[in-house]
Each structure stands twice: as structure tokens, then as C-alpha cells.
Structure 1
Amino acid sequence: MELASAALGSLLPKLATLLSEEYKLQKRVRGEIRFLQAEMESMQAALEAASNLPAHQIDKLGKIWVRDLKELCYDIEDSVDTFMVRLDTPATAKPHSSIRFLERAIELVTKARTRHHIADDIQQIKKRIQDVADRRDKYKFKDVVAAHPDSTAIDPRLPALYKDAAKLVGIDGPVEKLTNLLTQGEDVQKRQLMVVSIVGVGGLGKTTVANSVYQGLKGKFECHAFVSVSLRPDLKKILRSILRNVSGMECGNMEAWSLPDLINQIRGILDKKRYIIVIDDVWDESSWTTTIKYALVDNNLGSRVIVTTRNSNVAKVACSPIDGAMYELEPLSFENSKKLFCKRIFKDKQEIHSELEEISTKILKKCGGLPLAIITISSMLARLPNKTKYEWHRVYTSMGSGLEKDKSLENMQEILSLSYGDLPSYLKPCLLYLSMFPEDWKIRVDTLVQMWVAEGLVDEKGGENPYELGKGYFNELVNRSMIMPAHLDELGRPGACRVHDMILDLLISLSAQENFVTISQGLHLTPQACKIRRLSLQQKIQKHEDEDDQRVMLAVDVDMSHVRSLIGCKIHFKNLVLPLSMFSVLRVLSLEEFSSKRCHLKGLGSLKHLRFLSLGGEVETELLEEIGKLQLLRTLDLREASIDEVPASIIQLTKLEHLYVWRWAKLPDGIGNLRSLRELSWLDVDLSPKTLAKLGNLTELRVLSIDDLDESGLRTFVQMMPNLCNLRTLSIDFNMIDETSSLECMSNRWKGPARLQNFESILSTIPQLPQWFSSLSELSYLSIAVKRLTQDDLQLLGALPLLRFLRLRASFAGDTNECQFVIGSDQPFPSLDRFVFWQDDIFTVFAQGAMPKVQSLELDMPLRHFQVQETAVFRDIGLENLTSLKHVFIRLDCYNARNIREAEDVEVMIRDAISMHPSHPTLELMRLNKRWASEQQR
């Protein structure tokens, strides 16, 4: 239902655009488009009415109508896009005036013919719309909604409340941690109400863990309650359940009470009692913030509340501001997964027969530590009369395909489907798009968002930047536990993501039902019943080195003219020919994950709708020149392509916003023409010296990475930097002979972009900290190497209000061999989360009030700094003053230390400081240059 709504949402703005004066349509054609617009808006209203129904209450004919409407929207959008592309395509400029006149005449004739074609297309579309509209009236969705009130279904999570904890595996750790967390406040100082949230993906065992904690603790409280909220909560029913549990009474007229009445009754009972309440399965913030939390009284009696949820935003909102905590439940380890698996199948026996070892490992990997999946599959295997490798492999295959008709599998899918059903309509197509990628695939976040935008899955109206909006979509899917972040950077931001195997199976199943994605296990495609909209090639094809150099062509017997996305993953071959001219409406083409000697992109320039292009492997240079014909291209990713030079034709791509090339590829002259460019990575100044001077034209740049910047290049860069006022991220690697003289201009005269958020230059050393850093009020990430550091420099950095990560490599600026710096309340680093300090001749002491939020500290310090000169006294660095510390990593440089005893004494001092720290952070110690002076003198 939501996919059809999304298709309509993408189409309607384009119909409105067609009616603008820009396209100069005939009066009759404009009237026809208004008719299409009105009909589609009417169908959108019908879809909104039908969306109120649970999916199981829409009959087969209704589902067919929704499917046909979605397909119709796709086809209309393809026609409209094709029409717009033909009218928007400019003629190629020629120097001779007579040639320009002739081309202009041809262009006018072509556009007139195009306007005539759109009139013919509209007539055909009208017939299809009329058919769909007639069936809409026939089904009368509004009547269906009225006639089928939502029925009460059995909660599929109910068994979790009644599982015997003794039969479960891997919950002892979480139960113990949560129990300790909930009971630690039983002293006089911590009697406030504590709310602890348990968060994690569906099927992870949140309800089971919460219930085990609840059963173990409820005897210590005067009253208690365990209530489930569910996807579409009846808040009155929830409050009535709490009231019955905490009061032990049944009021006859309770059904008629209002929400305020129920809240007041509950508060009156809880006011003087110590209570524990579990609020299980909270789906949205509003249920908690508008109703449930007001029923809970903070009576200073040490009461406790446990909230379980799949949504991290809900978990954060529910946590009490004092002593509250958010507990992220982790999947079971492989060892515990195997124990649970064996316990369900073999009862007391913990060993798997050697014949079944390999297939059981595959099954457990597929389950990914999800207790629900392990219990479901192992229960199926336990019921099999014959425990053979063949039977187990059949069950393993059914986990993804749904071929095995088993009630437990259906229940598992229903539980996982609840999270999908709770998604807003704009997120569902974005999530289903992830079914394009194979299991365990690491997907770059930026790449995924750019694909969404290219496909039209992100709403671009309203003036908000679609990429920022798309990243918001991504974050929301992470918060709802639908996708898992991977490759976290120093600020905890995910650079990539992956999908749990069981969630991916659900997405593949839903995508197949909706004809959203077609997955091909190989290069030969067979005819499909439906039009292919998105195609994913995933099969591994092995090629031996001794085979000839024969080309492999994508073999198709089906129509590819409706494919919007083509992604190739895990395809191995020697040569591949892709007849791209068949993909006439392709918007996304990603072949970067191909393992190929050569890739022959036949007809690349014909892809007039292409907005995203990512290539890898060895690509034919002459075909790359066709990239200049892709006038709608927004993203060009050549990071994985084996090319030495980027084709000169890219300077014609005036709508290009993201350009990624590998670090040592030469860029063409004329990059300054790409005035829409938002990201450029990398620019090697030594290979592309003329490009640097034109960067000032790229006023929309947000992200810039520069390599091999020499003294001359730096001066050029400094001059045009004021134009790059929108820059947010800057990475520079210098190529300097005389750092002190050549980088003075950076230190003294350079004015950095005022809105810079990330700056990195750790591979090159600058002579001193630039004073203009003090103006970077939005800077959150800084990684820099400074030749001469002063106490004033630390004062400058400590005053940056939003700095969260600082990696600093520095030496002392004074005349003595070493110096002591003090970081205290006068340079507090108010927002810093992580501090990495590589210091040579500097001894750093943390005074009271320093870095109040820093959780991770990494120091690289010479061992000799800890010892007061010529004495046996060791200096303290003040770790106890970093009150929020969670992890400390110290590398001790033992160069010139007299013996191993000195290193051991310093390590004991550090360990003692950590053991006495109020936050009890973890500690890692490492010794470097472990050759003692006493040994060197021998």
C-alpha cells in the first residue's frame, strides 16, 4: 500500500511541473495532464482510506488494484521523465555560426516532435488510468474500511512471558547486569524513581529478559505490574491494566473512566508505595510522553520502571534524567547460540554430530544471535523424524524462501514484520531498497542515501536538502533497529551499515511480493511475469586463469526498459559486456563491487535518466568518455575503478554534486565548471595543478579532500578559500620540503571557512596552531599535527564549544627539553568525547574541571616524563579529574628508560589511579621501544 503511495507521491509533483510554462505544451495536452493529475489525486485519497486497514483485511482483488496502480505510476513517471529529458537536453555548442544555426533548427524540430509524442503517450495512459479508476470505484475502499473494524489478534510475543528461564541460554548476563543496575540505588542517596530502557531489534529477547528481571525483583516491592503496549496502543486499556495490577481491585465502572481519571487513580495508589512496573514493547514516543509517564510517581521510595522498545529514540526519552540508563541488548554470542540450538534439539546433549556441524554453523550464522530465530528453527529441526544433513539443509533453505510451511516460521516472520508495519510510508521503500544487497554486505551510508535520492525515494520538495533528509531517513531506520550501523567513526557516526540476515530475508520476501526488487543469481535472466523495476546481480561466477579472454555478455530474454536500478555484487569474471542501451530509464548503476579484469559498458552514454554511477575494476577508457552525455548525473563514484585519469567529458556534467576518485587519479582541467558540486574527493594537486585554482568557483562545496599540496599550491588555496564559505569537511595532506617557512601562510594569514565542522591534516605537520581556529564555532572533529604547541594553544582549543573529537600530535614550543601543560577549568573542552594526544616532550596534567564529558582518553607518552628528575618519585597526570571517563589507553614509550622496573612502577601507579576512579573506566597499557638503557650500554 505504502509503495503505491510513494510512487504517487513521486509522480504528482512531476505532473505539476509539466504544466509550467517552461515546457510550452499545447492547450489540449495541458488539459489532458490536468485530467491525469486529478485522477491520480483521487486514487491517492483511495489509498489513504485503504491504508487504515490491516494488510490481512484487504482482499486479493484490492491488493491487485494497489499493485496495478503502483505499476501504472511507475510507467507514467518514466514517460514524464523521458519527455522532460528530451526537452531539457541542450545542443552541443559548435564554433561555426552556420553549424550552430543548423543544430538549433534540428533541436526545435526534435522538441516539437517530442511534444507530439507526449500527446500520443497521454492517450494510451488515459485508457489505463480509466481502467484502474473503474476498479477503484468497484472495490469502494471506504466501505471496506467501515465494514471491517480491526479485530483483536493474539500477541505473537506472548510466549516470551511464560518461557521457563532455566531453558533459556545467554540471558544470565543481561539479567544480572539489569538487576544490579536496578538495585544499586537502594541506599539513602539514590531513592529517586529510576527508569531503565531495554532496546534492541525484534526477536532479540527484550520481553524475556525484562520478565526474568521482573520476576526476580517483584517480591522486594509493595506493588508491581507488567503491561504490554503493542503497535497500536489502547492507552486506556494499558492504564486500566496497570491500575488492576497495582491495586488488586476491579472497579465495575472502570471502562468509562477518562485518561485523567485513570492516571489520578494510579498516582494515588503509587504515591506511598515502592513499586516496580514493566512497560513492554513501547513503539512510539508519544505513548510515553503524553500519557504513560504521568501515571508514574517519583515518591523517593526507590521505585523502578523497566521499558522495552525497538526504537532507540523511545528508549532515550523514557530514561529517567537521574540514574536512568539505556541498556542495548546484544545478540547471543556464537557459543551461546550453539548452546541454545543444541538444547532445543538434543535436550541434555550439547554436541552436534560431525555430519551436521557444517550445516548447523550455516543455520546459526543465518540466525545472527537472534534467540527468536534460533528457537524457531531448532524447534522445527527437533520435530523432524530424521535428523539428516539433507533435511537440515532443506530447513536452512526455507529460512529465506519461506518454502517450509511451518506455524513457528510464520510467527517469527510476524514478529519481525511488526517493525516493518510500524514504519511511516516514506521509510518503507527506502528499507526495501536494501534487499538489493547480499547477506553481510557493508553498504556505505552516503552511497545508500545517494541511491535513494537518485531513485526518487526521498521527497525533494519543501526546500530541504534531499541528502540531509535522506540521512535523517537512515538514522530513523537505525533508531528503529531495522538496520545495523557499521564502521563507526571517532564521533560514533556510522560510515556503513548492514542488515541482519533474518530482517534481510523478510525484506527480500516483501520486495518479491511487491515486485520492488528482482534478484538474479547469475548473468542469464529468464522471462518475468511482471516488469523488472530494480535488478540485483549477485551470483559468484568463477573464472580460471587458464581460460581464454572470451567476453561474457549479460544474457537477457526479457524487457529491461523499465529497470530503474542495476546493482552488481559478487560477480567474478574475466570480461563482461553490459548492453546498457536496453536499460532506457535506468537511474542507478552500481558496478563497483564487480571483480573484473575489464568491464565493457556498451551504450553508457544512452542512459539519459542516470543520476547515480559507481564503477569498479578496469573500465575501457573510450567508453568512460561517454559519461559526459549523462546530463542528469548527480553522483559519480570511481574510487574502485582502475583508472589513472578521469575522463575530460565530466566537465559537461553541470548537475554533478558528488565526485569521488581514487587518491592518485588525474582530474581534467575545467572542474570549475561543475558549479553544483558538493563533494570532491580526492584532488591530487601534483597531478592536477590547474584544478586547484578553479576550486573557488565551486561555492556549493561541502566536502573537500586534497592531497600533495605544496607551497605554491597552498598559497593559491589560501587566496580562493573565502569563496568556499559552505565548506563543512576539509582534509589536507601537504607535500612540503621546508615546513616552517612554507606553512607560515596557513598559520598566520589563512582564514578558514566559518562553518567548518571537520578538519584533518594528521599526516603532515604544521609549524604552529592557526589562530583562526578560534573562530570555528561549529568545529566538532579535529585531527592535526603541530610542530610547536603552547599552553595558549590548548586554551584556544579548549574554548571551542562543539569540539567532540580531538586527535593532536605535538611537540613543545619552548627551549627546554620538556614542558608540563595543565588542562583545567580555564580550558574545559566542554563537549569533548574523545581525546587522543601523541606527545613527545610534553607532560600533560588534567586538573579539576577539565574535559567534563570526555569518555575515551588515548595518550602516547615517554616513560621518562612520569619520573621527577633524578628521584624515585612519579608524577600523577590527574586521571581522577576526568569524571566521565569510560576507557583509557596509554602507550608508554620506554626509550631511554633505565630498566623494566621503571616501566612496571609507572604501570602500577596508573592502574592504582584507574582502580580508584569513581567511574571505574577500562584500561589498556602498551609498551613501545622496550629496549632498556641498561641493555643498550652493554
Structure 2
Amino acid sequence: MAEAAILAALKVIGDVLASKLVKLTVSQTSNIGLTFANLKESINNISRELRVMKGYLNEIDDEDSESHEAWVKEVQNSANYIEDIVSEFAYIVGNKKFDGKLFHVRTMAKKPKVFIKLKRIASELTEVEKSLNHLATLKERWVTKRNTTIRKNLESNNAAVSAHFIDEDNIVGIEENRLVITNCVICEKPQLSVISVWGMGGVGKTTLVTNVFRREKKNFDCSAWVSISQSYSTENILRNIIFEIDFVPRNFDCEPNLPIDTTNMDCRGLKERLRKLLKEMKYLIVLDDMWNPNSFEEIRDTLIDNHRGSRIVITSRNAVVANLSLKINRLELKALSQKESWDLFCRKAFHLENNNECPPPLQKWATDIVSKCAGLPLALVSLGGVFSLIENTEPEWERVCGQLSWELAKNPNLDSLKNILTLSFKYLPRYLKNCFLYCCIFPEDSLLARNRLVRLWIAEGFIEQKGRSTLEEVAEGYLQELIQRSMLQIVERNTWGRVKKIRMHDTLREVATNLCRKENFRLLQEDCEIVDFSNSVRRLSIVKLRAEISHEVYLPRLRTFMSVDPNVPSSLLRSFIWDKSRYLAVLNLDGQKIKKVTDAIGDLFNLRYLGLRDTEVKFLPKSIEKLTNLQTLDLMISKIQKLPDGITKLKKLRHLFAQVRVDPTYRIFQALAGISLPKGIFYLKDLQTLQALESNAIVVRELGNLTQLRSFRILNVKENHSAELCRSLSNMKSLSYLSIHASNENEHLQLEGLENLQQLQKLRLFGRLNEEILKSPLFESSGKPIQIRLAWSQLQKDPLPSLSHLNNLTWLTLQKAFKDPKLNFRAEWFPKLKFLSLMQMPNLVQVEMEQGTMVILEKIQLWELEQLKDIPKGIEHLINLKRMVCKNMPADFGKLASGVHQLFHFKCQVIPLEADTT
């Protein structure tokens, strides 16, 4: 992972060398013969060294030897050091202004501190050059490059070999999937079919396909099983297929399985030989653990379709590889159920007990282990094997459970599990490795919000600009890659299918946490009895602080600090964060019991992400204006009511969250309150998120300058602001989320003139509306999926007929929206609606749903509908309904709602009162 550190350093260097300010500074200082006159040359020399090192590291395998690993670690530390030094230099020369002019030589006479800093940086860069030369000498003297490709290929194939010898009695939960794959294999269609089985490492792909392969290969003229490594060449794949082909004698005229010498064959010769072998054969070939679709594309023309019913089965951890087959021949392997997991674990851990039963005293520990495995068969089998070797006593099980992380790292009986999961990480593209490891700094079982994770990755510098795409769009592409490679699991999607929340599999996280230490990540959690730090720590996350941390801790290279534990003493934060970690890029203190941010925060020149959500902080210091690299400022649900004027100097600010949530249920009109922002906020051209802004005449007029906004919420809008507001909003061509709140529930929102919002996907309107607005451009049919919330609209008529043309509507909430006593959902209306919420409509007496309406609806919320005494008529037509939440409904309604279970054959969950958790 030294490559990631080198990339970060090269990125900073590239930005510095391209800066006009830096060029000006260097040329001016050169004229007066200062010690840093050759600064640019030093930086160029360092850049060249790093590029060569990066090229070398790209050519070799990881962890070649202990000496090589130690050398790579030193390279990583040097690259981190370079990144810090150059970042500080860029800050000094890029942000110092005097008498209205940019930094120049006169500054040094007026500001001796600046001179001293630049002199120190020049000296440090000179030392870095010497250090890099020394690293080159060390490598030649002590580090021997050894070829480990063969060893790693063997490691990657161990699971496949083992799978062939698994006793069927030890296979659990594959019956249904085995039938699916078997049916695809024995299908009578004569055309060649590609069948794919995919899922995360250890989920049982190889075991499943092995089971089918052994049963069905007798029905083919020939068969072959080949394990693919990411480092395999096309020639190797072809050679192995030829070598592994097993002919059935009854279908072969000459002596079967004669060895074929392929040693001197090139790729063309290998292809010709394989085509000749398969030409008249009905064949079954398994390509196990394929990482890249290109591996198959390069041999596809060789695996001929001779219309004899041949089959190719591919297993992969990558969804992109799985897409090589038709959807009907594609199977994603999921984790085992809780019952299946328990059964498999007990078969391994208690194979000497009667009926493989878990002894009662060990139930608690066994349950915890099974839960941690989260349905991953390889983890269940591996850990079951470890626990089968220890004494079946509660103290012994408690001891091993308490050191499970150590066991995963050190116990040789878990090598197969560790190798399989580590292999998934090793085969990640280099630009994804830090993104993946970063997910480990959150607590176990955390649900990671897509938007927040993307902003953090950007702040960390993991994301590179690609063409015209925004950094956020590139980061979302990285997230999709990690999901497709089965490294992250989707927990929740929004109503149009976009990823909303993800998580890491617990066992994969345990393995990744061990990798984090090598990459200078530190995670402090409940099992940390001793807190050990070194000066090289780059990222620190406090999940649960048990051990004492000395106030004398010095973390000079810290780039990220995040604390989930709200009980971290504020004195501790002050001692080693504010005062001693000046290179911080991410400071996330969400939920901390802090009341003040010190002036020292202004010295964190590199800070890009500042999270103070849900804290007791009441104001920001004036020094906040010095954070000119800040990209995200999250003050949501803090006590801050006004931002300092200096916030307008933060030209790189992309996301500003600054609102107070008075009522999280939005049951009262004034559920949100914004904060006062200085006038100059409208000149922050890079702003993409602004939540929430208090409206006034100046605000609505200047708002149109923020043309890059994608997410925007404005509060306290008055009717006489509407026309100007519409003109300003129409300049925001990229706006996808818009929330407008009137100043009170009787204030009209005159938004008929709002147009040109072609990217809009989420619309929230709180305030009185005229009936005509539903026919305005704002509610025109869009090709994009959309979500709409109308609250306190006070429309006279049922709005559904006017909204029914919105065929892409996926989410609809109506809250005090109309006065009509009836609400009718007609056939063919809202074909993509998945979520419907009806709230606080005192006049609503009847809801009717015709057959054919809302055909994919999954969830209904019915809240405080005091006159609605019967369940919606025709609700049984909603065949995909999974959940109905009833909150503060009339007493009689609850009795009737319980019958929805029977209507849906118990497939729909009915949740009364306050029990909903989604």
C-alpha cells in the first residue's frame, strides 16, 4: 500500500508545481539567493524518485519478503512525510496576502515567521532527498527481489482444491442453489451456455459448483476444472484447460487422456489445439474464481459453440464477471440463514458431541461467533474447526472469543479463511484499497451512508479527477466497484435503486482491520486494553475507549481523527488534536460532548472535512477563515445559530450543513430552523450542498450565483420572495434535491415560475400551494425517478389526478396536503411508486386502491388520520406490499389493520404505534 501514499504525495506535488503562485515565489526567492532558491528543483527531483518507486512497486507482488516489506514500509513513511511537507508549503505561498497583493519577497521582511517556515520546509525537502537516496542504497544492500507469483497462485487455488474433498455431510444450505445450477447445466438447449455463480470470497461458490460438477460431468463427453488467478495469462488458462480435460472413454475413439505437450505452443497454437479437442464434444468446463472479464473474453472464441449442449460455468467475486452470462443463468450466492449457519458451525465445532449439539454453557459464546460470521460458510467452517480443538469449557471459549482478532491474524488453522479474504483485498485495483480499508474505521455493524462516505473519501484525497465528472461522481463509481467485487454489501437502496447504505461483512472487517495497522490506521475499540501509538499514525478512530491515553501523545503525521465514543474527554481532544496534529485533513467529532472549538483549529491548514454534527458547540472561532482547504463543514443539529463572516473565505467549500432539527418527525410546521449566513456565502462557487438557509430579500436575489448547487434547503420563505426565488433557482441546472419551507403554515408558496430543473429528483414543499402549481413546469413528467413531499399544502381537492402523469414517481408523502375526504388511487397510476406516506389529514375518511394501481408499492405509512377508521379499500391488490406502519390511528383501525396479515398470507408486516425503525 506504499503506492497509495506515493500517489497522494505525487498528487500534492503536481498541484504545487502547476501553481502560478509557487512559480512566482520560487522565481522571486531565487533572485535574492535564499537557502530555498532551488526549491522547485528539489520538488522535481523528489517527484521523479517517487514515480520510479511507484513503477517498481507496481511490477512486484506484495510482501515479497520480510526485508522487502520493511523497505516498502520506509518508502510509505517517506511518501507520507513528503505529502505533509509539500502541503504545508502550498498553503503558505498560496494563502498569504499582504496589502492586497499576493505573497512576494517583501513578505519575508515584514513577516519573519513566514521566512522561518519556508526556510524550514526547504531544509526538510533537502533531507528528504538524502533519505530517498539512502532508501535506494538500502534496497540494493539488503532487499532481494524474489518471484512469489507461483506461491500466490497456489494460495489462491487452495480453496478450490479443498472444495473437491469436502464431505457432503458437511455441506449446509446449498440444496436450492444446487438445483438452480443443475437445471442450467442439464438444460436441453443445444446452444453453448455460460453460467455464472458470484458472491464474496468464502460464501461457498466453489463448494456449490464442485458439488454440481462431480454429479453431472458424467453426462458430458469431456470436462475440465480450471482455477483462475488474476495474474494468469491467456496462455496459462488455455494450457490448464487442455491439461485438465477429462474425456469419458465411451465417447472417445482413441486412448483417452493422453498427455499433450503444450510447452512450446504460443497462444495461437494453444487455441487451435483446444478448438480441435472440443470440436465434436459436448463439454463441461468450470473456470473457478475468475477476477476479470477480460480473462474470459480472450478465450471466448476458443470455446466453440458446436450445438451439442456444452456448458461453461464461471465463479467469481465480481458482479461484472457474472454479467458474462445471461440473467437467467446468473446466480448471486447469498449468506446462509441463521439456522443454517448454526447447523454448519455446530457440525464442525461439536463433531464429537451427540448429534453435533452445542453444550448449554457454551450457547452464548457459540451464538456470538455464529453472529460474527454473518452467514459466511468459510468463516463458519474455519472458526468451527478452531473451536473444535479447544476444551469445551466456558472459560476456555471466553478466552478464545476475546482474542478472535489475534486468532484471525496468527492462528495457522485459520490461514485458509484469512488467505481467501485477504486475496480479495490484494486483487483490488490500487485506487480502491484505501477506500476499502477506510470503511474499517467505523464501528462493527455500522451502516455507512453513501453520501457521507463519498465526502470523506474526497477529503482524504483518495479520489482523482476524471474528465468532466465531479469528484463525487468518481467516488460513487469507486463505491460501485467495491460492491461489485463483493467487498461491501448493500443494506438499503433508495426508492429508485440507488445505493443508500452499505456495510462490511464482520469477518472480512476483522481481516481488514489487521491490514489497517500496516497502513498506519489505528482503531481503538472495546478489545483494546493497551493503546500504542507511533509518530507514523495517519488515521485514528476511537470506537470505544477503554484504555487510558496519555495527554502527552504526539501524533505529528495524523491526517484523520474520528471519534464515535461520545465520552472521549474534551481535554484529550485538545491535547493531541487541536495542538499537536497540524496536518489533519479530516476531523470528525459528531456526537461529542464538546461545547467549544478553540482558535487553534485555524492552524489545521490542511483540514478538508470538519464534522461537528450533534455537538454542544455554540459558535465557531474567527480563525475558521484560515481553513482555506475546507470542503465539508457539517454543523447539523449543533447549537450554532450564526456563522462568522470569515466563512466566505473558504473558496473550496463544497458541502455546508447548518440547520437545527426541532422535530425529527416533521409533525410540526417549524420542524427545522436554519442559521444566519453572511452575505458573501453566495460567492462560494464550488458549493454543491447548502442546508439550510434562512430566506430574506437579499438571499433570494443573490442565490442564483450558486450555480453548482445540487442539494438545497431554504426556510422562512415569504410569498413576496417567490418570484425572485424562482428566478434564482432556475439558474441551478444541476439541482437534484430541493426543499422549500414557507415562513408559516398559512404563507403561500408561489412557485409556478420555477422551471429548468431537469435534474431534480427530490422535491419537498412545506407551505400553502395553489391548485395551479400541480400543472406547472415543476411537476412536469420527467424521465428521471422522483420523490415528492407536499406538506401543509391545504389544497382543496385530491391531488392524485394531477400527479398521476408522473410515471417515474417512486416516493410520495402527503401531509396536511388537501381537504378532500376521499383519496382514490386509480388503475395504472404510479407504476413505479415504492413508498407512500399519508400523514395528519383530519378530513380523510376513505382511501381506495383499484386493482392495477401502485403495482410495486412496498411500504405504506398511515399517521394521525383521525377520521380513517377502515383500512384502505383494495389494499389486497398491492401484491408487493411488505410493510404497513400505523401510527396514532383511531383505536378501531388497529383491529382492522391486524387482518392485513391474512390478506397477504403473512408476507406483509404491520407495525403499530411508534415501533417503526426505518
Alignment TM class, shorter chain as reference: 0.7 to 0.9
- 1: distance between equivalents of 2:385 and 2:275? 44
Partner AA of 1:443 in structure 2: L
Q: Distance in 2 between matches of 1:892 and 1:577?
A: 46
Equivalent of 1:667, from 655, 675, 692? 675
Task: Tell me the residue number matched to 1:332.
Answer: 336
Contact 1:522 1:537 in 2 (8 A): no
Find the counterpart in structure 1 of residue 557 from structure 2: 562
> SS in structure 2 opposite 1:592?
coil
Aligned pairs (5 A) from 1:65-76: 65-76=71-82
1:264-312 Cα distance to aligned partner (Å, 9 max, x none) = 5555665665544332101012112332x33444555554433211111
Query: Following TM superposition, by how much is the alpha carbon of 1:700 offset from its aligned partner in structure 2, in angstroms?
Result: 1.6
**Structure 1 Cα separation of the partners of residues 833 and 371 of structure 2:** 34
Separation of aligned partners in 2, 1:514 and 1:778: 45
**782-791 or 207-216, larger mean C-alpha shift:** 782-791
- Structure 2: distance between partners of 1:650 and 1:623: 10
Call closer, same or farther: CA 1:109–1:658 in 2, change over 3 Å: farther
CA 1:682–1:89 in structure 2 vs 1: closer, same or farther (change >3 Å)? same
Q: State the TM-score, normalizing by the size of structure 2.
A: 0.80
Preserved contact between residue 860 and residue 884 of structure 2 (Cα < 8 Å)? yes
* Cα drift, residue 427 of structure 1: 1.5
Secondary structure of 1:227 counterpart? strand
Contact 2:26 2:39 in 1 (8 A): no
In the TM superposition, what is the alpha-carbon distance from 1:174 to its structure 2 partner?
A: 3.0
**Kept in 2: contact 1:708–1:734 (CA 8 A):** yes
Structure 2 unaligned regions, length at least 5: 248-255, 662-671, 839-843, 863-867, 914-918
**1:201-350 alignment to 2 at 5 Å?**
201-243=200-242, 244-245=244-245, 247=247, 249-250=257-258, 252-263=260-271, 266=274, 274-291=282-299, 293-298=300-305, 302-316=309-323, 318-320=324-326, 323-325=328-330, 327-347=331-351, 348-350=354-356
Q: What is the Cα deviation at residue 586 of structure 1?
A: 1.2
The 10-residue stretch of structure 1 (163-172 or 647-656) with the greater mean CA deviation from structure 2: 647-656
Is 1:360 equivalent to 2:366 in the alignment? Answer: yes
Question: Matches of 1:875 and 1:394 in 2, distance apart?
Answer: 54
Tell me the percent identity. Answer: 23
Q: Where does residue 602 of structure 2 map in the other structure?
A: 605
Question: In the aligned structure 2, how far is the partner of 1:906 from the partner of 1:432?
Answer: 45
CA pair 606-15 structure 1, distance change in 2 beyond 3 A: closer
Matches of 2:269 and 2:770, distance apart in 1 = 68
Selected match of 2:758 from 733, 754, 760: 754
Equivalent residue for 1:678, pick from 687, 692, 695: 687
Structure 1 148/410 Cα, relative in aligned 2: closer, same or farther at 3 Å?
A: closer
Whichever residue aligns with residue 11 of structure 2, its letter is: S
Aligned: 1:167 with 2:170:
yes
Q: CA deviation at 1:144?
A: 5.2
Shift of 1:210: 1.8
Map of 2:732 onto structure 1: 724
**Deviation of the 1:153 alpha carbon:** 2.7
Supply the distance in 1 between the matched residues of 2:232 and 2:309 (Cα, whole angstroms): 28
Change (3 A) 1:49 1:558: same
Q: Which has the higher strand share?
A: 1
Give TM-score, length-normalised by structure 1. 0.79
How far, CA to CA, are the matches of 1:85 and 1:222 in structure 2?
Answer: 70
1:21 matched to 2:16? The reply is no
Deviation at 1:823, TM superposition (A): 3.7
SS in 1 for 2:730: helix
Q: Tell me if the contact between 2:563 and 2:589 (Cα under 8 Å) persists in the aligned partners.
A: yes
Query: Is the alpha carbon distance of 1:284 and 1:765 closer, same or farther for their aligned partners in structure 2, counting shifts above 3 Å?
Result: farther
Q: How does 1:393-792 map to 2 (within 5 A)?
A: 393-402=398-407, 405-460=410-465, 464-517=469-522, 519=524, 528-540=533-545, 555-572=550-567, 576=571, 578-579=573-574, 580-594=578-592, 596=593, 598=595, 601=598, 603-624=600-621, 626-646=623-643, 649-661=646-658, 662-663=660-661, 664-670=672-678, 672-683=681-692, 685=694, 691-707=699-715, 709-733=717-741, 737=745, 742-743=748-749, 745-746=750-751, 748-761=752-765, 767=771, 768-773=773-778, 779-785=784-790
Superposed CA offset, 1:323-359 (max 9, x none): 333x222222333222222211221444333332332
1:207 is displaced (CA, Å) by 0.8
Structure 1 segment 922-933 matched on structure 2, within 5 A: 924=908
Question: CA distance change for structure 1 residues 583 and 808 in 2, over 3 Å: closer, same or farther?
Answer: closer
Q: How many residues align?
A: 859
SS of the residue 1:40 aligns to: helix
Change (3 A) 1:517 1:9: farther
1:6-64 superposed Cα distances (whole Å, 9 cap, x missing partner)? 3443343144236743434423645343234224323431342243222242441x333
Gaps of 5+ in 1: 94-99, 543-552, 868-873, 880-884, 915-921, 930-938
Would the aligned equivalents of 2:6 and 2:50 in 1 still touch at CA under 8 Å? no
Measure the CA separation in 2 of the matches of 1:514 and 1:566.
Answer: 15
Query: Structure 2 vs 1, CA of residues 405 and 391 (structure 1 numbering), >3 Å: closer, same or farther?
Result: farther
2:191, 2:377 → 1: CA distance?
34
Q: Which residue in the other structure is 1:936 paired with?
A: none
Asked if the contact 1:175–1:213 (Cα under 8 Å) also holds between the matched residues in 2, the reply is yes
Q: Structure 1 pair 490/84, CA: closer, same or farther in 2 (3 Å)?
A: same
Provide the secondary structure at the position in 1 that maps to 2:656.
strand
Q: CA deviation at 1:442?
A: 2.6
Structure 2: distance between partners of 1:816 and 1:536: 54
Structure 1 residues 241 and 366, CA, compared in 2 at 3 Å: closer, same or farther? same
- In structure 2, C-alpha distance between the alignment counterparts of 1:925 and 1:522, rounded to whole Å: 38
Tell me by how many angstroms 1:577 deviates. Answer: 5.6
Letter in 2 for 1:89: N
Alpha-carbon separation, structure 2, partners of 1:394 and 1:793: 65
Contact (CA 8 Å) 1:667, 1:691: kept in 2 or not? Answer: no
Instruction: After TM superposition, give the deviation of residue 738 of structure 1 in Å.
Output: 5.8
Are residues 776 and 264 of structure 1, via their aligned partners in 2, closer, same or farther at CA, if it must alter by over 3 Å? Answer: farther
Partner of 1:536, secondary structure, is strand
| Secondary structure of the structure 1 residue equivalent to 2:431 | coil
Residues 219 and 143 (structure 1 numbering): CA distance in 2 closer, same or farther, change over 3 Å? same
Q: CA RMSD in A?
A: 4.7
Q: CA deviation at 1:420?
A: 1.0
Instruction: Determine if contact 2:316/2:322 at 8 Å carries over to the other structure.
Output: yes
Question: Does structure 2 retain, via aligned residues, the 8 Å contact 1:685–1:708?
Answer: yes
Q: What's the offset of the Cα at 1:451?
A: 2.0
Corresponding residue number in structure 2 for 1:797: 806
Report the counterpart of residue 44 of structure 2 in structure 1: 37
Q: Which residue of 1 aligns with 2:252?
A: none
- SS in structure 1 opposite 2:136? helix
Report what 2:667 is aligned to. Answer: none
1:16/1:704 CA distance change after superposition, 3 Å? same
How far apart are 1:315 and its partner, in Å?
1.4
Q: Residues 685 and 692 of structure 1 are in contact (CA less than 8 Å); yes or no, is this contact kept in structure 2? A: no
Q: Is the CA contact 2:785–2:809 (under 8 Å) kept in the aligned structure 1?
A: yes
| 1:522–1:540 Cα contact (<8 Å) kept | no
Distance 1:283 1:808, change over 3 A: same
Cα distance, 1:124 vs structure 2 = 3.5
For residue 62 of structure 2, what is the aligned residue in structure 1?
A: 55
